[in-house]
Amino acid sequence: MTKISLDISGKVSLEHIKAISEIKKIAGSLGIKFFIVGATARDFVLGCLYGVKAPRMTLDIDFGVEIKNWEIYQKIETELLKTSRFKRSKAKQRFIFEDTTIDIIPFGDISNDKNEISWPPEYSMMMNVSGFDEAYKHATPIILSQDPFLEIKVPTLPGLAVLKILSWKHSYPERQKDAEDLLFIMMNYEHTDIIERLYSDKIELFESEAFDNKMASIRILGQDMSKICNPYTLDEIKGLLNEETFETSSYNLVTHMMGATHTFDSILDLLLKLKQGLWEVK
């Protein structure tokens, strides 16, 4: 996939700019790579860049930080609190900056072979960070402000879709909003620059979908997700979609995606199209 430089300066709140600037400064001083994930990344790309309004807004910001161990995470926490602008919350990954909730989620070598992290000192809180490595590797830079200049990385929409589907899987049934966000990405992938690809290198696929923008785009989304995943992550997503679309399934993902404007059958058709795209990449 081709990475593009995004500029959404003038569309991001001042408080978000201040919070992200502080964290970027601290991460830079410690030599730590990071990116913005979650609903904020969704809003930056689909909302600010393509003008697609999200079904729900968020004031929170989720960061993924690539680190080796908990000692480095402790350094991040120490530096944040030293500024006196960040406060600790009850949740171990959570901080408060003015009126904004900040989650800082570690990934990388700090996780075990199951992509799990366990928070010290009790190690009772477990979190799965499957897909973070791939999403970061294929993240794209985005300019949040020109003056002062602020550029950070966010996942591409395929990367964000990978994160959402895996987060839903590992947190079921608590994370229905991840299923809703996945559906939102699927429904609106056609409103990105995907249209250019449909009329150029994906014209045969477009024709096979009877020139249906939405279905063709979702199928390409599946292909794009497949291309960025390592074999382990791809097998995990394929296994999940198999479980959630078989005739004997409980259809938990479909149920969590359904709302006032979507029927069971329509959601299932969309997931099957996403599944088709995932399987097409060899």
Query: What are the tokens at 213?
Result: 């923008």
pLDDT of residue 3: 47
pTM: 0.94
DSSP letters spanning 238-263: HHHHHHHHSTT---HHHHHH--TT--
Backbone angles phi, psi at 258, to 5 degrees: -70, 145
Q: Which residue ranges in the chain fall short of pLDDT 70?
A: 1-5, 260
How many Cα neighbours within 13 Å face the side chain of 141? 7
Domain parsing of the chain, residue ranges: 6-155, 162-280
Number of H helices, E strands in the chain: 12, 10
- The Cα 237–Cα 120 span in angstroms is 29
Q: What is the largest CA-CA distance in the chain?
A: 58
Contact 174, 146 (CB under 8 A): no
Which of these, 158, 160, 142, lies nearest to 150 by C-alpha position?
A: 142
Count CA atoms within 13 Å of residue 266 on its CB side: 11
CATH fold of the domain at 6-155: Beta Polymerase; domain 2 (3.30.460)
Res 1: pLDDT: 40
Pair of tokens at residue 209: 């979908």
Model pLDDT for residues 235-272, shown as the tens digit of each residue: 999 999 999 999 999 999 999 999 768 899 999 999 99
